[in-house]
Each structure stands twice: as C-alpha cells, then as structure tokens.
Amino acid sequence: MSMKILIIDDENVLQDVLTSLLRKEGYSTLSARSGEEGLEILQREQVDLVLLDLMLPGISGKEVLEKIRHSYPEQVIIVITAFSSIEGAIEAMRRGAFHYIPKPFKNAEVLLTIQSALEKRQLADENRNLRAQLRDRYAFDNILGKSKPMTQVFEMIQLAAPAKSNILILGESGTGKELVAKAIHSNSRRSNGPFITVNSGSMPPDLLESNLFGHIKGAFTGAVSSKKGLFEMANRGSIFFDEIGNIPVDTQAKLLRVMQEKEFMRLGATETLTADVRIIAATNVDLDVEVKNKTFREDLFYRLNVITINLPPLRDRSEDVIILVQHFLTLYAEENEKKLQAVSPDAMELLVGYAWPGNVRELENVIERAVVLSTGDVLGVDLLPPVVRQPQTIMTLPASLDLNGASFKEAVSSYERKLIVRALENSGGVQKSAATLLQVKPTTLHEMMKRLDISVDRIAS
C-alpha cells in the first residue's frame, strides 16, 4: 500500500507539479486549495504526510499547522515557503513541523525531504507498535514476560483472580510476588475494594496483632484511643501477607480463626467483628519444611494452599531479560531525562547470561544505576556493575587445614558454615539461589542453616 500525501497549497501550478512528481515516485496524493479544505480532508482521511504552504487564503498556514498539531499530534508535516520567508519556516519547525521546502525548489530536494520525514513516521509507528506488543502480548498488569513459565503464570492469574479462594504465591525474593498479588486483586470481583499489604516479618508479634485486628482504648500501654485493624480496613477487598512464613505461631492461630470463621476481635475487646476479606499470601521459604519444623501451622498451610502460583526465578526465564531491560531502560531514561536508547550487544550478552540471584528487583536496580551514570545514548559494558561483568564463584577451599585443636566433625562444620555464608552473600540472601550455587536442594540448605544457626538477617546486616 502506497504512502498517502496531502498537499495543501492554493497555487494550481504547484499542485500539478507536486502531484505529478509524487505519483511518479509511487506515492498517493490528495489536494486541498485552502487550510479549511485541508483540515476537512484530515477529518475523513488518514494520511502519512502533509505538505503545507504557509501562505494560504483564509486561515494561514501557521494556524493550520497549530490545528493539525492539536488534533493529530503524530502527523508529519513539511511546510512550503517562499525563500524570503525562511524565518517563518523555522518558526513552524519550532511549532512541530518536520522540515521546510523553500520556493523555488528542486525536485530531488523535495523527494529527499519527504523520504526522511516518512522514515521518521515509520520509525515512530514501529516503536509505538512494539510498545503495544510488549504491553499486550508480554505483560499482565505491569508483569513482563514472554517465556513459557511466565505465560503459565499469566494463565494462572486469569483463572484464579475471579475465584473466591485464598491464594499462595511462592517465589524467591525479587521475583515480583506483590505485583502478582495486585494483579489478582485488580482482575477479581473485589477490584473496587481495598488492597492492603501486611509486611509480616517486619513487626514484633504484639504490634503485628494490633495492626491486623485493631485495639480498643486502654488495651495496652500506649493505646490512648481505639484503632481499626487492617482486616477492618480491607473489608470487601483483599489483604496481602508478604512473607507469611515469618508470622509467629500464636498469631498464626488467630489468623486461622479469621479465615475459618470470618470473625475476629480487636485487642482488649469482647465484641466480635466480621471480615469479608480475600487472603493472598506470599513467601520465599519452603512452608513444607516450616510445617515439619513446627514453625508454621499445618492447618493454616492447608487453608492458604488452595491455589498456588509459583513464580520462576529470573535465571530460569533468561529470554525475558531482554524485554525487562528494554522496559526499565525506557522507564528510567524518561524519569532521569537521559538520552539512553539502546544496549550494546556485549552488555546485553552479559545481562542475559548473569544468574540474577536478586531476580527482577536486582535487574531493575542495575539498569537504573546504568541510566543514572550514563552520558551517551548506548548502555555499554562499562555501565554494568562488576558482579555482572565478572560473576564470581562462591569460594575455594584452602590448600592446607589448620584444625587448631578442633575435632574432624567441628572442622567440617566450620568449613560447611563458611561455604553456606559465602553462597548466601553472593546470592543476596536468597536461599534458593544459594542452594543452586552449592548444588543442594533448598530444603537441604534450610535444614543445614538451622543446624549451624545461620541467619540470613545477620548476614545481610
């Protein structure tokens, strides 16, 4: 299909010359002898480019330009002007024209300017289509991915969202569990209700219960007034428990009662309140192991584990890295007013090949850092942090062993501990990633950490 060009000019000779020239080059043309006629044509016809004379009867070419820019902001416009009015043409470019053609003009100059303008139009269309494709094909409520594991996640969200069942989201730290929880809520029948997030592991037990269930005045020292809890605030909506595996066992029992009976009481109160709330929970630990270790209630686990969504780590969906890199590059380039537009092949190869122990969150941080530090329009290897440029192994055993009087068993435990700590450090505290480095099952690593009293929190601090 040929490109369509609208010529707005009141001179018949110029209309004939341009129409003949453009049609010989394979373009389709439309003609208008006034600005008013040109605007009418644009209302009913989609054109690829407008040739606009600045000197027109009736409304001026400048007015026509402003009206086109207002109604059709992506329309490509080239202005035609007498050589003595070049200043007016430059002003038109400031107002959004692509370029200008001075009268009298050379045919080759006209064709070259039109070709450049149409190439710009085609590039803009391709970029817009690519963004739409990424949004429609590879995204679900800000969750990006085209890999098979992520396609399965999208399908699970679509199936689970309309249901009333509780949801359990499993995945390593940084995989986007809260984004999935929000997607489930926004696509559910409760989407008009509140979405409340509970940071399960960041509060002491007493404060957590007060936040969940509320309290009455005088319930404890410092309770100078009554306060609604998060369950009341989330009524007719969804409540998201981030890292639910960190909730104390005593609080788990009260949470179970809310799930079973849909009832709870504020701290210090005797009145029973009801809660119409859907519970969405997430964790990066193996709840099966926690149940076996008696640190997580089995009955609560089965209440939560009705529909389970497993989020894959980024290392298991490396084909999504390119999409995520382009997304974060565009996001942070616009946010920081940088001109970064592309990633060099060498840098992209490193980004795709890196294991990403911190998952999507780590990738986002790396791209944001690169954008902030950039001075050009290409993200090169030099903008990547050392850990991405030169991935390191966890550690090597010493050539000689100094037992210092320790027994064989104690020495083995000591080096076992060092290996696990180093693996956790290199994995950003993500136990599943550390297990991959150590080539053991996550459940095995978890049991080893408990036996050796290794805490991820202490390592991170």
pLDDT tens digits along 15-54: 999 999 999 999 999 999 999 999 999 999 889 999 999 8
Is pLDDT at 132 greater than 80 in this prediction?
Answer: no
Decide if domain 316-389 falls under CATH 1.10.8.60.
yes
DSSP annotation of 152 reads: H
Per-residue pLDDT, 408: 63
Residue 149 banded pLDDT, cuts 50, 70, 90 = very high
Report the range of poorest mean pLDDT among 8-12, 31-35, 350-354, 427-431.
Answer: 427-431
Burial category of 79 from C-beta neighbours within 10 Å (exposed 0-12, middle 13-18, buried 19 and up): buried
Helix (H, G, I), strand (E, B) or coil at 80: strand
Taking the C-alpha atoms of residue 38 and residue 21, their distance in angstroms, rounded to an integer, is 20
CATH topology of domain 4-134: Rossmann fold (3.40.50)
The residue with greater pLDDT, 367 or 267, is: 367
Taking residues 154-163, report their average pLDDT: 92
Taking the C-alpha atoms of residue 93 and residue 276, their distance in angstroms, rounded to an integer, is 59
Taking the C-alpha atoms of residue 451 and residue 413, their distance in angstroms, rounded to an integer, is 10
> Matching CATH topology for 4-134 and 316-389?
no
Per-residue pLDDT, 371: 95
CA atoms within 13 A on the CB side of 447: 9
Residue 96 banded pLDDT, cuts 50, 70, 90 = confident
Taking the C-alpha atoms of residue 103 and residue 82, their distance in angstroms, rounded to an integer, is 5
Burial category of 320 from C-beta neighbours within 10 Å (exposed 0-12, middle 13-18, buried 19 and up): buried
Per-residue pLDDT, 395: 47
In the chain, count H helices and then E strands.
20, 16
Per-residue pLDDT, 311: 95
Per-residue pLDDT, 202: 65
**Dihedrals phi, psi of 79, to nearest 5 degrees:** -95, 150
Taking the C-alpha atoms of residue 16 and residue 10, their distance in angstroms, rounded to an integer, is 11
Per-residue pLDDT, 321: 93
Contact 422, 406 (CB under 8 A): no
Helix (H, G, I), strand (E, B) or coil at 102: strand
The residue with greater pLDDT, 398 or 419, is: 419
Is pLDDT at 131 greater than 90 in this prediction?
Answer: no
Per-residue pLDDT, 181: 94
Per-residue pLDDT, 138: 52
The residue with greater pLDDT, 188 or 413, is: 188
Percent of the chain whose predicted confidence (pLDDT) is above 70: 90
Per-residue pLDDT, 428: 73
Per-residue pLDDT, 143: 87
Per-residue pLDDT, 139: 54
Q: Average pLDDT over the chain, rounded to whole?
A: 85
Is pLDDT at 111 greater than 70 in this prediction?
Answer: yes
Per-residue pLDDT, 161: 92
Per-residue pLDDT, 410: 72
Segments making up each domain of the chain, as ranges: 4-134, 145-312, 316-389, 408-460
Decide if domain 145-312 falls under CATH 3.40.50.300.
yes
Taking residues 113-142, report their average pLDDT: 69
Per-residue pLDDT, 94: 80
Taking the C-alpha atoms of residue 143 and residue 164, their distance in angstroms, rounded to an integer, is 22
Residue 137 banded pLDDT, cuts 50, 70, 90 = low
List pLDDT tens digits, range 302-324: 999 899 999 999 989 988 999 99
Is pLDDT at 399 greater than 50 in this prediction?
Answer: no
> Around Cβ 260, how many Cβ atoms within 10 Å?
11
Is pLDDT at 87 greater than 90 in this prediction?
Answer: no
Taking the C-alpha atoms of 306, 258, 247 and 446 in order, what is their torsion angle to the nearest 10 degrees?
Answer: -20
Most confident of 307-311, 411-415, 443-447: 307-311
Closest alpha carbon to 59 in 37, 91, 27, 26: 37
